[in-house]
Amino acid sequence: MKTLEDIERVSLGIFPTPVQRLENISRLLHTQVYIKRDDLTGLGLGGNKVRKLEYLMAQARRQGAEVVFTTGGAQSNHAMLTAAAACRLGMRAVLILKKRGVTACAGNQLLEKLMGTEVIFMDTDDYEDIYAEMDRMGRAMGVPYYKIPCGGSNALGTLGYVRCAREISEQGLPFDHLFCAAGSGGTLAGLALGARLFLPGTKVHGMMVDTDPFETITLRLMREAAELIQADVPLTGREFDLLDMCGPGYAIPSEEGTAALSLMAEKEGLFLDPVYTGKAFAGILRMAAEHAFAPEDRVLFVHTGGAGGLFAVK
């Protein structure tokens, strides 16, 4: 049988990331709230994409790729971290980004400029157009190239968060609830599969920050990732539940999300972002207000990063 350790991985981050208790927020919500600091993964400004990229970049390197393509919105944290990983590994990153969000030299665009990353904006709403353009450009370059999907969310990238669930299981505290943002679904899928394998008794909650069909996307990624590591567990979709925290739309700040971001800053001196983690943490606040947690429950919020985008909000 294959295990997680049999899948090739390149070291890009600093692990394990800390788990900390949020004293003031715990008191406020009358339950035990902890934070998994995946905003401190150690590459760029940190964030969840580092764990995925450890698997994806290993495969790119093994295949002899000289160029790595990826995509996302103009302020994609994933695209910026892919560029950072390419810098570290001596590969060339080309980002073909959707022309949506802040395209000016701020936030992640500024970081990409500092790294000398090649960034192309494409005026399309369909990622398929962008993947086709990657193939066209890659063939024209005449060198081996590797395509990473939006958010790094394929089966291989998902393994990064299976590994994170195992890491949490080794950090000593049993959790009743685990929360993360769901943007392209890989983080949630990895944590839900990982919890099925390593965290029995932990309920996994995906906080949707986009309007995609996450029920299907997440279950498909879980099944494909389970196949890669030959984890023979029945998966039904009941390994996670979903809460719609998107508000007015993807990458458009919501009132609830902005209030959650302020609360975290004021009470704990920690910064969330308006696109993902603010909205995800707002889900915990909403459920606490609905008395979803007992006073002794341990609730773990996975801070997935987003610092780059914090400085480029419309």
Q: Count residues near ligand PLP (CB under 6 A).
A: 20
When the beta carbons of 23 and 216 are compared against ligand PLP, the nearer one is: 216
When the beta carbons of 69 and 301 are compared against ligand PLP, the nearer one is: 301
When the beta carbons of 71 and 277 are compared against ligand PLP, the nearer one is: 277
Among 107, 138, 185, 257, binds ligand PLP (CB under 6 A): 185
Whether 92 contacts 47, CB under 8 Å:
no
Per-residue x/- track, 215-244, ligand PLP (CB under 6 A) = ------------------------------
Q: Is residue 153 flagged as an active site residue? A: no
* Helices and strands per DSSP (H, E), number in the chain: 11, 10
Q: Nearest to residue 206, comparing CAs of 216, 198, 170, 54?
A: 216
In three-state secondary structure terms, 303 is coil
To which residue do tokens 């505290």 refer? 173
When the beta carbons of 138 and 151 are compared against ligand PLP, the nearer one is: 151
47 binds ligand PLP (CB under 6 A): yes
Q: 150-159 burial, b if ≥16 CB within 10 A, otherwise e?
A: bbbbbbbbbb
At closest approach, how far in Å is the CB of 5 from ligand PLP?
Answer: 22
Q: 91-129 burial, b if ≥16 CB within 10 A, otherwise e?
A: bbbbbbbbebbbbeebbbbebbeeeebebeeeeeeeeee
Contacts (Cβ under 8 Å, ≥6 apart) of 102? 74, 75, 109, 312, 313, 314
Name the one range near ligand PLP by CB under 6 A: 10-18, 29-37, 125-133, 180-188.
180-188
Among 78, 92, 98, 163, binds ligand PLP (CB under 6 A): 78
Choose the catalytic residue: 11, 26, 76, 184. 76
At closest approach, how far in Å is the CB of 1 from ligand PLP?
Answer: 26
In three-state secondary structure terms, 29 is helix
What value, to the nearest 5°, has the Cα angle with vertex 95 and ends 90 and 100? Answer: 155
Contacts (Cβ under 8 Å, ≥6 apart) of 302? 35, 36, 38, 48, 164, 178, 179, 180, 187, 191
In three-state secondary structure terms, 309 is helix
**Order of strands across the sheet that contains 118-122:** 118-122, 92-98, 67-70, 145-147
Per-residue x/- track, 246-265, ligand PLP (CB under 6 A) = --------------------
When the beta carbons of 138 and 284 are compared against ligand PLP, the nearer one is: 284
At closest approach, how far in Å is the CB of 308 from ligand PLP?
Answer: 8
153 binds ligand PLP (CB under 6 A): yes
When the beta carbons of 58 and 182 are compared against ligand PLP, the nearer one is: 182
Which run of H or E residues covers position 129?
A: helix 127-141
44 binds ligand PLP (CB under 6 A): no
Name the one range near ligand PLP by CB under 6 A: 4-12, 165-173, 175-183, 236-244.
175-183
What residue ranges bind ligand PLP (CB under 6 A)?
47-48, 77-78, 151, 153, 181-188, 273, 276-277, 304-306
Residues serving a catalytic function are 76
